Amino acid sequence: MAQIPECVNFVKKGGCWKSDVILERETPEAWSFRCRTCRLLFVVSKDGVRDKSQFELAAKRKKEMEEAYEARMRKKKYFVA
């Protein structure tokens, strides 16, 4: 079974004296947790989501660069001697 993470403020000793974390919400990409003690809301992404988004962003950039290159090649070219 998966383990609920401790409060970030509790781990960093930043004002939370007791880590009392509950699962607030779950989406296909991440889990949202809330600490009952200090009311901190933090999000933990699921495995593979970050890699998938980085791949999609790289593919989008590559497509945009290819489209810009093709647009430059379609322009009329003038050669001066």
How many CB atoms neighbour CB 16 within 10 A? 21
Report whether 33 contacts 5 (CB < 8 A): yes
pLDDT of residue 30: 87
pLDDT of residue 1: 38
pTM: 0.56
On average, the pLDDT of the chain sits at: 85
> Six-digit token pair at 13?
């000793």
What average pLDDT does range 23-42 have in this prediction?
Answer: 89
Query: Residue 2: which pLDDT band, with cuts at 50, 70 and 90?
Result: low
33: nearest Cα among 13, 12, 15, 19: 19
**pLDDT: is 72 or 3 the higher one?**
72
Q: Where are the alpha helices (DSSP H) in the chain?
A: 8-11, 49-74
